[in-house]
Structure 1
Amino acid sequence: MPSKPQPALSALSAAPAPAMAPKRRGRPAKSENDSLRGELIKKSAFLFRTQGYDNTTVRDIAAAAGIHSGSWFYHFKTKQDILAAVMEQGMTQSLADIEAIALHTLAPRDALRRLVEVHLQTLLAPNHDFIPVLLYEWRSLDPLSRARIIKLKDRYEAIWDGVLKALHASGEWAMPTRFDRLLMFGALNWTAQWYKPGGAIALRDLADSAVTFILRSPPRPA
């Protein structure tokens, strides 16, 4: 679209200052829009985790974000869309966190230890509601949304698979089975049901115990 012709500089300097334009109604500006969308996802994650997806209404989410119910639809068409966004954000952040670890520079057991600690941090740290929602509301996703999340999950698990293979090759994991990864994630993910942040055990200590449990052996002496 051609740009509108601009008045000469002399005309601008001679003209009186324009009156303040009235605040425009409708869709928010981009920066405001992005910020509000992020807040909706964050509040929704908390509500879905604490109340359950089925028991959370659009009005609940709007009220938690401090907006009118109608404003919610500028960002998401349905509650299903925001559930998918919650899970996608959780998986995207989790993937970024473990991709940031220079695993190739670590011994296999140390690499597993770092993966376990980051995984537990994602699950258990205060205000980290995204992955627990994914774990416990997975069946609420529609097939198309589920397919998108599965692609992210496959990338996440592929990083773990590389470390598990290195552990087996190093002799640290002497008796792997084809169910080990499922059992491992099952045990780690279940901590969301019983672990109390700020309680008797720190996340770092929990990660140490988890690695000993997973590998069925204590660390080898240095």
Structure 2
Amino acid sequence: MPSAAALDAPSPKKRGRPQKGEGGGLRAELIEKSAQLFRTKGYDNTTVRDIAAAAGIQAGSWFYHFKTKQDILAAIMEQGLAHSLAEIEAIARQPLPPCALLRKLVEAHLHTLLAPDHHFIAVLLYEWRSLDAASRARIITLKDRYEAVWDHAIAALHRSGDWAMPSQFDRLLIFGALNWTVQWYKPGSGADIQQLAQQAMLFILRTPAALEAQ
């Protein structure tokens, strides 16, 4: 991941069609820079020229990797969600007690939301309506798989008896609370992500004894 200084300093301009072998690196950089711009300026307020300038390339070179701005918006969401899905599916395969499993899912979700170099969740949350129908269908498939991992973990916790008062809306309420942290959490504000996950679990379960048994 580029340093803050590297992000501020544009790379040398590239002329003409990118050379073979450059595509993966430049494509990844376009996704990263676009995600930052979409998060800070908004999708509608970000131009193709803004993206090219942030990546340090000529405007025309942008189109060798993405045909439209809509394509790059979809790529940001799809790539980010696929990466997070792989992470939580790996967690779900671990032989963990239900409470410990949910704790790990909460921590992974918070890290995805709050890590300084993670922008895709904010873009996903606030630019969802900007997607076209075809792109939205692909993202929904990934989102459904992501939510299924949580549904299975929550159902196991319900069955365990460690959740004093579970409800049919638990996943929706958990996501609502966790996703809102992007609005107020500041690194160094008194709790790191692991500590925040612990507090989130206390808020969700309201059963300290279950937490102590992890």
Normalising by structure 2, what TM-score?
A: 0.88
Counterparts of 1:71-90 in structure 2 under 5 Å?
71-90=61-80
Counterparts of 1:56-67 in structure 2 under 5 Å?
56-67=46-57
Residue by residue over 1:146-199, the C-alpha shift from the partner in whole angstroms, topping out at 9 and shown as x without a partner, is 110000001111111111011000001233222221111010000001101232
Unaligned runs of 5+ in 2: 1-14
Return the offset for 1:102.
Answer: 5.0
Unaligned runs of 5+ in 1: 1-24
1:180 maps to 170
What root-mean-square deviation, in Å, do the aligned CA atoms of Structure 1 and Structure 2 show? 1.4
Match of 2:196 among 195, 203, 206: 206
2:43 maps to 53
Match of 1:95 among 85, 96, 105: 85
Native 8 Å contact 1:103 1:111 kept in 2: no
Paired with 2:115 and 2:20, the residues of 1 have a C-alpha distance of: 30
Q: Which stretch of the first structure deviates more once superposed, 198-207 or 27-36?
A: 27-36
Greater Rg over alpha carbons, structure: 1
SS, match of residue 167 in structure 1? helix
Shift in alpha-carbon separation, 1:219–1:128, aligned structure 2, 3 A: farther
Residue by residue over 1:103-147, the C-alpha shift from the partner in whole angstroms, topping out at 9 and shown as x without a partner, is 441110000000000000000011110111101111111111011
Shift in alpha-carbon separation, 1:102–1:177, aligned structure 2, 3 A: closer
Does 1:37 find its partner at 2:27?
yes
Paired with 1:120 and 1:80, the residues of 2 have a C-alpha distance of: 27
SS, match of residue 100 in structure 1? helix
Counterparts of 1:1-222 in structure 2 under 5 Å?
26-101=16-91, 103-220=93-210, 221-222=212-213
Q: How many residues align?
A: 198
Question: 2:168 is aligned with what amino acid?
Answer: R
* Aligned residues with identical type, % of pairs: 71
Normalising by structure 1, what TM-score?
A: 0.85
